Structure 1
Amino acid sequence: MTKTLFPDGLVGVIFDCDGVMIDSRDANREYYNRILAYLGMPAMTSEQECYAFMATARQALCRILPPHLHACLEQTANAAVNYARDIVPLLRLQPGFLEFIERLHAGGLRMAIATNRVDRGLQTVLDFFALPPYFDPVVTASNAAPKPSPEGTRMICKAWGVAPCRTLFVGDSEHDKTAALGADVVFAAFNGDGLQGHITVLNFVELAQALAGAL
């Protein structure tokens, strides 16, 4: 499979953060539901929850909160919940992620992150899990158009000086898939609940097996 997908070889891997590097679904649900409870509103619907998991925090809050609060989203969220104290401890590193990136690093492959978190939110994750400094560049909603725009994916390929066809994007959502395919990058659908990609896997053990010829 890898020779077919990467006839010129695999040079770098781009990771989405939430749902790929970390398991944050419970944490995200708790974060937004605390804000809604603070405002006396009902918990998110399943549709709102799915959207919030893919979107930027601002996009999610605009979706679930009434328009008169859109001018003060950050202030409202900060008043409702202490993210570092109440939410970050709920985050979990995806099983096998550390072993996988160590294998990539040992093989000389480059790594980057493309997330819809803002700079501060992603740095909180990197610091909390004390992840190694393998990821460069790190593209967030603070420095590129959020996914599904392919802008961030293109930025990474340009920074690496690598053809998109020699790059893999690992994501778990349609936003990730669109961001990858829009930049002509090979897409690996990771634990995506029916999401399909050039490679479709449930976990990092399966991903390592799928890429065995390229690692």
Structure 2
Amino acid sequence: MAQQQFDLIVFDWDGTLMDSTRHITRSIQSACRDLGLPVPTDEAASYVIGLGLRDALQIAAPTLDPSDYPRLAERYRFHFLLKDAQIELFDGVREMLAELRELGYLLAVATGKSRVGLNRALDVAGLGSVFAGTRCADETFSKPHPAMLHELTRELGQDLMRTVMIGDTTHDLQMAQNAGAAGVAVSYGAHAAGALSALEPCFVADSVGTLAGWLRQHA
């Protein structure tokens, strides 16, 4: 194995580790439908995945009066929670994380989910003890602001130059750039491979297996 480039590997959650992109997209669309708003296309609804909920809904429903954001957020949560417990990790994620820990990497999560939502997902997946640190959008600035990565590296005593952010959206890659960290993209989530590649990540993985292989050889 080549000399280790990174000490800290930070993962996005939805669309990167958890196969939740389609469900989030449908929940956004259903919430807009409930309030009689124009229903965003699949592409428009999936674009906002990874952002904090308020930022996401502002973009998904641009005609909504800001005073009604809480109503839209409530309807989104209603639809999302209907099938939340049925969402599973992508195949190979559990094994990849176990291997990375065995190799000595610190692992963390930076997500647009709320703290309550991430804790629930970690508990259901049985991954609560896997990550040395986690940061959620309702605790700090939403992506692509670099705060999540700044805070995680300070908390864990790590160097941003030896940190890599892995995610399925341009928001993840832009956050990595803004923070001065490396970025790796996965194209099996919310954003298209072309949009991800345009931001010049270190690598674009088309599957969890491909991602695990690249990390094994290059991280």
Which category describes the TM-score, using the shorter chain as reference length?
A: 0.7 to 0.9
Q: Kindly, what percent of the aligned residue pairs are identical?
A: 23
Counterpart of 1:30 in structure 2 is 26
Counterpart of 2:47 in structure 1 is 51
How far 1:150 moved relative to its partner? 1.0
Q: Alignment partner for residue 127 of structure 2, among 124, 131, 136?
A: 131
Q: What is the distance in 2 between the residues matched to 1:26 and 1:129?
A: 18
Q: What is the distance in 2 between the residues matched to 1:106 and 1:80?
A: 38
Q: What is the distance in 2 between the residues matched to 1:52 and 1:83?
A: 17
How far 1:79 moved relative to its partner? 5.0
Counterpart of 1:186 in structure 2 is 182
Q: What is the distance in 2 between the residues matched to 1:83 and 1:130?
A: 23
Q: What is the distance in 1 between the residues matched to 2:91 and 2:122?
A: 16
TM-score by length of 2: 0.84
How far 1:80 moved relative to its partner? 6.8
Q: Which moved more, 1:23-32 or 1:70-79?
A: 70-79
Aligned 1:155-166 pairs, distance under 5 A: 155-166=151-162
Q: State the superposition RMSD in angstroms.
A: 2.4
Q: Alignment partner for residue 64 of structure 2, among 64, 67, 75?
A: 67
**Change in 2 beyond 3 A, CA 1:58/1:2:** farther
How far 1:108 moved relative to its partner? 2.0
Q: Secondary structure at the match of 1:134?
A: coil
Q: What is the distance in 2 between the residues matched to 1:125 and 1:40?
A: 30
1:141 aligns with 2:130: no
Q: What is the distance in 2 between the residues matched to 1:185 and 1:79?
A: 36
Counterpart of 2:116 in structure 1 is 120
Q: Secondary structure at the match of 1:22?
A: coil
Give the letter for the 1:91 counterpart: I
Q: What is the distance in 2 between the residues matched to 1:114 and 1:121?
A: 13
TM-score by length of 1: 0.85
**Change in 2 beyond 3 A, CA 1:83/1:120:** farther
Q: Alignment partner for residue 208 of structure 2, among 201, 204, 207?
A: 204
Q: What is the distance in 1 between the residues matched to 2:185 and 2:16?
A: 10
Q: Alignment partner for residue 168 of structure 1, among 160, 164, 167?
A: 164
Q: What is the distance in 1 between the residues matched to 2:138 and 2:149?
A: 14
Q: Is the 8 A contact 2:184 2:203 kept in 1?
A: yes
Q: Secondary structure at the match of 2:108?
A: strand
Give the letter for the 1:151 counterpart: A
Q: Which runs of 5+ in 2 are unaligned?
A: none
Give the letter for the 1:67 counterpart: L
Q: Secondary structure at the match of 2:145?
A: coil
Give the letter for the 1:193 counterpart: A
Q: What is the distance in 2 between the residues matched to 1:80 and 1:204?
A: 28
Q: What is the distance in 2 between the residues matched to 1:204 and 1:46?
A: 23
Q: Which moved more, 1:158-167 or 1:45-54?
A: 45-54
Q: What is the distance in 2 between the residues matched to 1:163 and 1:79?
A: 40
Q: Which runs of 5+ in 1 are unaligned?
A: none
